[in-house]
Chain A
Amino acid sequence: MRNSIILAALLFSINAFATTPQVLLKQYEVQAKQENPAFTGFSAERGAIFFRAERTHSDGKKVSCSTCHTSDPRNQGKTRANKVIEPLAPSVNPQRLTDAAKVEKWFGRNCRDVLERACTAQEKGDYIQYLVNLK
C-alpha cells in the first residue's frame, strides 16, 4: 500500500511537466493561432535560419543562438562562463524537449538575451520543428 502511494506520487511528480516534442509543438500551435489568425504552420527551415541569425545586441556584441549552442544543435555548446551545454537536438539528447517548464524557462531567458524581447509562439514552434527534424 505504502509503496503504491509512493509510486503514484512519483509518477505524478514526473508527469507534472513531462511532455514530448510533438505535444509541445501542438501547444505552441494553439498559441501561434491566437497570436496570428493567418498562421499556416511551423517550418524547420525558418527555425534553422532563426537559430543562426546574428544580431547586434545593445551592448555592442554580436549574438545568436549559435553563439553558445554552436552552429549545429547536435553538438555540445558552451556558456559564456565556460560550462558545457548538452546538445539541443533530441536525436542525440533524448532529454531535450521533454519538460515544458524547462523549455519555457530557457526560451524566456535566452530570447531576452539574444533578441532583447520575448519570442513569439511562431518562432518557438519553428525552432522546435528544426531541432526535431535533425537526425
Chain B
Amino acid sequence: MKKWMQFLVLITSITSASVLLASGGEGGGSQMPPVTNAKWKAECGSCHMLYHPGLLPERSWNKMMAGLDKHFGENASLDAATRDEITRFLALNSADKQDNRRSSRINQSIPASATPLRISETRYFISKHDEVSASTFKRKSIGSAANCVACHKGAEKGDFSESQVKIPR
C-alpha cells in the first residue's frame, strides 16, 4: 500500500470511531434513547411524569401493569387492549432489553430475585442520589424522589445526564 493510502485509511478509521463514540453508535450510548407510544404517553402521563421504559426491567413492568387497580395506592385501571399495548411497549424497551449504559447499570443493580416497582428503590438510584437529602426531595418544588423531571429536565426523554441536573429551591 502506498504511504498516502495508509494515511487515508488511518484518518478515516479515527474519524468514524470518534463519530461512533460521540453518538453512542446504534444504541449502546450513555443515555436512554427517546422512545414513544401514543397510549403510553396519554395514559401513563396524565397523573405523573412519563417514566422511560428503560428505567426498570421487563419483570417490573409486567408486575406494575398487572396491578393497575392498586397503583401506588390509586386506581389506574385501563381497558384490556390499552393495558396490553402499553405493557408490550414497556417490555420491548425495558432496562433488560436496552443496551445503553444507564439502563444496563440499573438492571445490574437489581438482584435477580427482586422485582422492584419503584425506581428509587434500586441500588443504582440510591447510590446516584446519596448526596441528595431526604428534606431536599420533600421540597415543594420537587415533591418526592418519584418526580425526576423536577431536577432532570430531559427525564421524560430518557436524558438523565449529570450536566443537566438542576435542583430547584
Contact = CB atoms under 8 A, between A and B. Distances in A.
B77 A108 contact: yes
A15 interface: no
Contacts of A83: 45-49
Contacts of B147: 81-82
Q: Which of B45, B47, B48, B150 has most chain A Cβ within 10 Å?
A: B47
Interface string B43-55: 0011111000000
A109 B49 contact: no
A113 B74 contact: yes
Contacts of B47: 79-81, 83
Q: Which of A59, A109, A110, A113 has most chain B Cβ within 10 Å?
A: A109
B139 to A, nearest CB: 11
Contacts of B144: 82
Interface residues of B, number: 16
B75 interface: yes
B48 A112 contact: no
B146 A112 contact: no
A112 B69 CA distance: 9
B76 A81 contact: no
Nearest to A80: B74
Contacts of A81: 47-49, 143, 146-147
Nearest to A68: B47
B73 interface: yes
B76 A109 contact: yes
Nearest to B42: A102
A79 B48 CA distance: 8
Interface in A68-120: 79-83, 108-110, 112-113
Interface of B: 45-49, 69, 73-77, 143-144, 146-147, 150
30 contacts: A59-B73, A79-B46, A79-B47, A80-B47, A81-B47, A81-B48, A81-B49, A81-B143, A81-B146, A81-B147, A82-B48, A82-B144, A82-B147, A82-B150, A83-B45, A83-B46, A83-B47, A83-B48, A83-B49, A108-B75, A108-B77, A109-B74, A109-B75, A109-B76, A109-B77, A110-B75, A112-B69, A112-B75, A113-B74, A113-B75
